[in-house]
Amino acid sequence: KETTIAIIGAGIAGLSCATRLKALGFQVQLYEKSLGVSGRMSTRNNDHWSGDHGAQYFTARDPLFINQVKEWINAEVAAIWNPRLKVFKANQWQDSTATENRYVGIPAMNSPGKHLAKALPIEFNQTIDRVAYAQNKWQLHSLESGDIHQQFDWLVVALPAPQALALTKSIDKSIEKFTIDANMQGCWTVMASFTDNLNLPFDAAFINNESISWISRNNSKPKRIGLETWVIHCNPTWSQEWIELDKDEAAKRILDCATKLGLDCRTAKISIHRWRYASGHTNPIPVFRLHEDLKLGFCGDWLNGGRVEGAWLSGYQLACQIEKVQK
C-alpha cells in the first residue's frame, strides 16, 4: 500500500515538495486555502492590467534549482528579465552594477507554480484550521468542509511561519522558537496603472532609506500585456510599523513617497495589497524541519533563507529526507 502524505499550502515550497514526493512514489494530496496556486509568487489580474504583487523575480544559484529553472524555461513558463535597473541612494540615482540573472514567470509570476500544479492533486478553498495525530494517522479539519475524510501517514506543513505555528503549536512544542526567530514581516504593495506610458529612464529600482524599497514597471517583464503598470513595495520595517493602517491612508503615504521618487501616480488607477507575512527567515538556516516520530515535516522560505529559490529547495529537500526515513 502506498504511503500517503498530506501537504498544507500550495505555494512554491508545497508544490516542489509534492512534485518530488510524487516522483519518489508517494501518494500526495495538497490542500490550499485560496482558489489558485503559487502563494506569494502571485499576480493580480484585471481587464486592463496585471501586476506581480508578490515576488518580483527570482535568482538561481543551487544546481538543483538551476535545473528546475531550465525546465521552466523549456516549458515556456519562465524567462530571464533584463530590466534597466537603478539604485536610489543618498538622494541620488545610480545604475545598478548587479550582474546576476533575474528570472520571472511568464506570462505571470504564478506560471511556474501553475505548471507544477498540473501534475498534482490539489483541493482548493480548503483552509486547514486543525490537525491531529492519532494511531499513526494524520487527520485534518478545514474551515470550509469540516473533517477531511482521508487520513494520512505523513503531514507536510508548507506555510509561512506564523501560520505554521498557529496550526501545530499544540503538537510541536519546539516550533514556537523557530517561528519567532523567523520574524516574518509584512509588506505594503501598491500597483499603479497608467493609460499613457511614463517613459521613465529605468524599468526597476532598489530604493534606500525611504518607506518604499522597490519599484518596477511590470510591463518590462517578458510576455506582459495591458496598460503600463508599476509595482511599488515598501520596506519591511516601514510596512510592519504601519501594517494596521487603513488602506486608503497607506496608499496616500506610499504615493507621496513615489512622487518624490519621480513616479507621479496622480493619473494612475491604484490598487493596494497588504501582505501580513511577506519576508523573514530563521538564522542559522535549517532548510526544513522534520519530526520523524510524528511523521511531521515543515518547509517554506522562512526555513531556508527566504525567497523563491530557498522555498523551492526547502520543499525538495524535505521530500528527499522523508524518503530516506521511510525506507
Interacting residues toward ligand FAD by CB under 6 A: 8-14, 31-34, 39-41, 54-58, 127-128, 158-160, 163, 187, 189, 233, 275, 278-279, 300-301, 306-308, 311
For residue 303, report the phi and psi dihedrals to the nearest 5 degrees: -95, -5
Compute the least distance from the CB of residue 299 to ligand FAD, in Å: 7
Cis peptide before 112, with omega less than 30 degrees from 0?
Answer: no
Query: What are the C-alpha distances in Å from 107 to residues 66, 68, 190, 272?
Result: 20, 18, 20, 21
Query: Residue 69's closest CA among 309, 319, 292?
Result: 309
Q: Between residues 40 and 217, which has the closer beta carbon with respect to ligand FAD? A: 40
Compute the least distance from the CB of residue 196 to ligand FAD, in Å: 26
Q: Are 60 and 37 in contact (CB under 8 A)?
A: no
Compute the least distance from the CB of residue 180 to ligand FAD, in Å: 18
Q: Between residues 203 and 301, which has the closer beta carbon with respect to ligand FAD? A: 301
For residue 252, how far is the Cα from the chain centroid?
26
Compute the least distance from the CB of residue 298 to ligand FAD, in Å: 10
Helix pair 12-23, 307-326: axis angle to 10 deg:
30
Q: Between residues 121 and 195, which has the closer beta carbon with respect to ligand FAD? A: 121
Compute the least distance from the CB of residue 271 to ligand FAD, in Å: 14
Element (H, E) at 310: helix 307-326
Q: Between residues 69 and 135, which has the closer beta carbon with respect to ligand FAD? A: 69
List the alpha helices (DSSP H) in 107-160: 111-117
User: Helix, strand, or coil here: 258?
Assistant: helix
Compute the least distance from the CB of residue 128 to ligand FAD, in Å: 4
Q: Between residues 77 and 308, which has the closer beta carbon with respect to ligand FAD? A: 308
For residue 239, how far is the Cα from the chain centroid?
17
Query: Residue 302's closest CA among 275, 326, 321, 279?
Result: 279
Compute the least distance from the CB of residue 67 to ligand FAD, in Å: 17
Q: Between residues 158 and 322, which has the closer beta carbon with respect to ligand FAD? A: 158
Q: Between residues 147 and 195, which has the closer beta carbon with respect to ligand FAD? A: 147
